[in-house]
């Protein structure tokens, strides 16, 4: 097959975001720029002639931790070896890395054969925004938090620095970021962003359930009441699951967090909402 695999530049990122939308993954309106900032060469496209027929994210963080995501082959090209060639290209790019991914549980056996082991399961919870209420005085705009503090807090739940990605993520348009400052110390933060349909809260990190619930309520209050809202919850965090259910949300699908190589440490009890199934 006449197939070319190459990296995408920033202007081409709408290609993979549109592929994700066609799969029903409901990407954010401005995800492409933030994704690209994570690793300028980390997104690959498979082309037949001038037609984009597949893609994969193989994002390297600090040359030691990688994440596979946005692994898609156009329906008409499935079963023709395109996916395997994309997979091999992505994994070759991450040779020598510990590699993570969030895949549907039905694909766990395939990923195991590629050397991945299950770490935990996640669930996407969906509901609607509830308006009203007064936010506690400890909640402040995320923009008032120093970037270094935000990056340090992210390292408690992510195994490598990703400062460029974080800068782009928290500054994206059509998004609201909030933080909880306790005596000047960052005790939690989150962001809600506009997606193709409704909004997603991602991430939501907090030191305890009360902070998480207050931040979640304040984030949801920043969007129109009744608008669709979703959040991706790591199922081992029972407090996060309880929060989502208390908000009247329901689980709509699951993913499996898996790693090739030693699973990196993560303060999972602080993770009430993951940042992204595509980048970890």
My answer on whether 59 and 145 are in the same domain is no
Q: Walk along the chain (280 residues) and give the pLDDT tens digit of each residue.
A: 689 999 999 999 999 999 999 999 999 999 999 999 999 999 999 999 889 999 999 999 999 999 999 999 999 999 999 999 999 999 999 999 999 999 988 889 999 999 999 999 999 999 999 877 788 999 999 999 999 999 999 999 999 999 999 999 999 999 999 999 998 899 999 999 999 999 999 999 999 999 999 999 999 999 999 999 999 999 999 999 999 999 999 999 999 999 999 999 999 999 999 999 999 9
Q: Is residue 110 a part of any domain in this protein?
A: no
My answer on whether 130 and 257 are in the same domain is yes
- Which of 163, 162, 150 has the alpha carbon at shortest distance from 66? 162
Give the helix ranges, DSSP H, for the chain. Answer: 13-22, 31-38, 82-93, 108-113, 147-154, 163-170, 209-221, 238-246
Provide the CATH number for the domain around residue 34: 3.40.630.30
Q: Is residue 119 a part of any domain in this protein?
A: no
Q: Is residue 197 a part of any domain in this protein?
A: yes
Q: Is residue 105 a part of any domain in this protein?
A: no
- Which of 7, 2, 91, 78 has the alpha carbon at shortest distance from 41? 7
My answer on whether 129 and 245 are in the same domain is yes
Provide the CATH number for the domain around residue 220: 3.40.630.90
pTM, entire model: 0.94
Q: Count of domains in the chain?
A: 2
Q: What letter does residue 10 receive in the DSSP assignment? A: G
My answer on whether 28 and 154 are in the same domain is no
* CB of 255 closer than 8 Å to CB of 122: yes
My answer on whether 229 and 165 are in the same domain is yes
My answer on whether 128 and 264 are in the same domain is yes
């Amino acid at each position: 097959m006449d197939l070319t695999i190459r990296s995408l530049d920033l202007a081409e990122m709408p290609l993979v975001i549109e592929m994700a939308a066609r799969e029903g993954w409901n990407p954010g309106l401005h995800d492409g720029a933030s994704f690209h900032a994570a690793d300028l060469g980390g997104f690959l496209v498979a082309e037949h002639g001038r037609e984009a027929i597949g893609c994969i994210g193989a994002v390297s963080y600090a040359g030691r931790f990688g994440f596979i995501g946005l692994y898609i082959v156009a329906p008409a090209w499935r079963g023709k070896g395109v996916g395997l060639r994309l997979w091999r290209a992505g994994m070759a790019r991450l040779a020598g890395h510990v590699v993570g991914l969030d895949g549907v549980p039905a694909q766990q056996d395939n990923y195991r054969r590629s050397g991945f082991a299950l770490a935990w399961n996640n669930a996407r919870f969906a509901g609607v925004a509830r308006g009203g209420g007064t936010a506690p005085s400890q909640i402040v705009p995320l923009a008032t938090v120093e970037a270094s503090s935000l990056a340090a807090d992210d390292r408690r739940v992510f195994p490598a620095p990703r400062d460029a990605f974080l800068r782009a993520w928290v500054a994206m348009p059509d998004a609201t970021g909030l933080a909880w400052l306790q005596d000047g110390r960052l005790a939690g933060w989150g962001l809600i962003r506009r997606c193709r349909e409704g909004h997603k809260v991602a991430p939501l990190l907090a030191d305890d359930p009360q902070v998480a619930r207050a931040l979640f309520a304040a984030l949801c209050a920043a969007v129109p009441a009744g608008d669709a809202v979703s959040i991706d919850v790591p199922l081992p965090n029972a407090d996060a699951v309880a929060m989502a259910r208390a908000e009247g949300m329901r689980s709509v699908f699951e993913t499996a967090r898996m790693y090739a190589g030693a699973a990196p440490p993560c303060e999972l009890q602080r993770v009430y909402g993951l940042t992204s199934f595509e980048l970890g």
